[in-house]
């Protein structure tokens, strides 16, 4: 049986940190309120991958879908197999598909609350670049995410996200002059490449 925590928090990343702290299972992943698993087998696939591979974390592909009932595909984020050097060019796996062993979260920490929009990106850089954890890629869509997240809700948020991305890159030793433009440009093909 799961644990339900309903109490005031300091924003989404504080709530996620509470989830990590309360976790009792082998791995932690996050399914946000408007998101859905791509199919009924997603959790079984993730569990099987953890059982058959000696890795700290797992990720897959992500679909952005419209907010209406049609769930129209807007953007397909194909992650590709992990290569650490790609992080220098702004690459990252989609955070909603990222699952990490609970003990690694306890060792490496959760989300840095100084970031209001980019704490997920900062955490991925900390895990994948700074601490070089082992990861496996599942080449299929794991999560369908509805449009309207905090990072792309408005021009103001996009600017704040870019500022925070820059800070996260500097904090984790990734050169921002190269990584930030590449990170933003890498999203463009996702609007044209459908599954």
What pLDDT was estimated at residue 139? 97
Average pLDDT over every residue of 71-78:
88
- Per DSSP, helices labelled H in the chain are 12-22, 42-52, 102-108, 119-125, 155-172, 176-185
Which segment of 4-18, 76-90, 128-142 scores lowest on mean pLDDT?
4-18
For the domain with range 12-191, which CATH number is right: 1.20.1090.10, 3.30.360.10, 2.20.25.190, 3.90.550.10? 3.90.550.10
Q: For the chain, what is the mean pLDDT?
A: 89
| pLDDT one-digit tens code per residue, 118-161 | 999 999 999 999 999 999 999 999 999 987 655 555 688 888 99
pTM of the model: 0.88
Which pLDDT score, from 0 to 100, does residue 7 have?
76
Cβ distance 18 to 5 under 8 Å? yes
* pLDDT tens string 19-28: 999 999 999 9
Average pLDDT over residues 90-104: 96
Closest to 137 in 3D by CA, of 103, 98, 105: 98
* pLDDT digit string, tens, across residues 25-62: 999 999 998 899 999 999 999 999 999 999 999 999 99
Q: Which helix (H) or strand (E) holds 65?
A: strand 57-65
Domain range annotation of the chain: 12-191
Give the pLDDT score at 44. 97
The answer to whether residue 194 scores a pLDDT higher than 60 is no
pLDDT at 156: 83
């Amino acid at each position: 049986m799961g644990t339900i925590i309903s109490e005031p928090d300091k924003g989404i990343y504080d709530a996620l940190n509470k989830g990590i702290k309360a976790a009792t299972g082998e791995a932690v992943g996050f399914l946000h309120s408007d998101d859905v698993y791509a199919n009924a087998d997603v959790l079984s696939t993730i569990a099987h991958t953890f059982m058959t591979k000696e890795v700290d974390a797992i990720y897959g592909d992500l679909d952005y879908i419209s907010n209406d009932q049609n769930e129209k595909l807007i953007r397909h984020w194909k992650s590709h197999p992990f290569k650490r050097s790609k992080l220098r060019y702004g690459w990252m796996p989609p955070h909603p598909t990222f699952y990490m062993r609970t003990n690694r979260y306890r060792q490496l920490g959760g989300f840095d609350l100084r970031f209001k929009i980019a704490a997920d990106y900062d955490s991925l850089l900390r895990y994948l670049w700074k601490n070089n954890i082992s990861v496996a890629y599942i080449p299929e869509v794991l999560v369908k995410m509805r449009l309207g997240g905090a990072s792309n809700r408005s021009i103001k948020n996009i600017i704040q996200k870019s500022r925070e991305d820059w800070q996260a890159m500097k904090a984790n030793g990734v050169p921002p002059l190269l990584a930030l433009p590449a990170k933003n440009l890498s999203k463009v093909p996702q609007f044209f490449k459908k599954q």
